[in-house]
Amino acid sequence: MWNNWKALQRNKTARYGIPMLLDPALKARVSAQKQKVTLETEYEKLKELNLEDWRNIRGPRPWEDSRQYQEQQRSQQAAKQGREL
């Protein structure tokens, strides 16, 4: 009996499949991910976005000091707003 139990513990289907059977919210979330995505639906989503006001935001690299980078970004933003006024 214990050998069967250990085999079930190693079985990934039993390990991860049983909670899905018991939790309907999890099952619904996984089945939503399996829905077919078409090019047309993704295109419609992109059409709704306002790409004219797009800003590319880059975070600091691991070797960069984040505070120094943030101060630099703020000064550039302030200078840009000063020119626009």
Report d(CA 17, CA 23) in Å as an integer: 10
pTM of the model: 0.30
DSSP code of 51? -
pLDDT at 75: 92
The answer to whether residue 20 scores a pLDDT higher than 60 is: no
Q: Which residue has the higher pLDDT, 44 or 36?
A: 44
Distance between CA atoms of residues 11 and 5, nearest Å: 10
Half-sphere exposure of 24 (CA within 13 A, CB side): 0
Mean pLDDT (the chain, rounded)? 77
